[in-house]
Amino acid sequence: MDKTAPASAADLMAMSGIEAMRALLAGRFAPPSISQTMGFRLVEVDHGYAAFEGEPSDQILNPMGVVHGGWALTLIDSACGAAGHTTLPAGAGYGTVETKVNFVRAITPATGTLRAEGRVLAQGRTILTAEAKLTDAQGRLYAHGTSTCMILRSEKKA
């Protein structure tokens, strides 16, 4: 596989979730375009766990001059979803049903690198829930949230 090739859905679906996340982390596939657009990257995975890091920039400010809340929400949703994906078998994926985030501190371009760590809380056959916290290098909390994801399995054809 070409290291710069984007991962196709078929490529990723052929692997277990943990294998797919580890392949992305190892650079076997180019990161998803959202990573470049939003300025964050996958940095760690384990079963039921995923971490992303990102640098807020002046490209994502709201009218008040602070980083738009959607950036933090996207990091939290990504960490929750990727954590959930690490628990899935080959042929299964996920889709976010809902993400709820509480913002506790303003984020500015001067904040520096932030880390979103997601962990699966519960998983059933069709739904999983996960939580994530967004912190800085000193461990200060900027936001925390939860995601509910539906588990998507390929349909068998008769």
The per-residue pLDDT for 153 is: 87
Instruction: Give the Cα separation of 90 and 99 in Å (integer).
Output: 25
Has residue 30 got a pLDDT over 90? Answer: no
pLDDT: is 8 or 130 the higher one? 130
Rounded to whole angstroms, how far apart are CA atoms 35 and 112?
17
For residues 26-59, one letter each, b for 16 or more C-beta atoms within 10 angstroms of the residue's C-beta and e for the rest, the string is eeebeeeeebeebbbbbeebeebbbbbbbebeee
- The answer to whether 130 and 121 have CB atoms below 8 angstroms apart is yes
Over the chain, what is the mean pLDDT? 93
pTM more than 0.95: no
> CB of 17 within 8 A of CB of 91?
no
Tens of pLDDT, residues 46-87: 999 999 999 999 999 999 999 999 999 999 999 999 999 999
Domain 9-153 has CATH 3.20.20.70: no
Report, as an integer, the average pLDDT of 88-107. Answer: 96
Render pLDDT for 87-96 as a digit per residue (tens, 0 to 9).
999 999 999 9
pLDDT at position 142 over 50 = yes
Contact between 87 and 48 under an 8 Å Cβ cutoff? The reply is yes
User: If you write DSSP's letter for every residue of 63-92 in order, what string do you get?
Assistant: TTSSB-HHHHHHHHHHHHHHHHHTTPPTTE
pLDDT score, position 157? 56
> Could you give phi then psi for residue 17, rounded to 5 degrees?
-60, -45
Question: What pLDDT is attached to residue 1?
Answer: 43
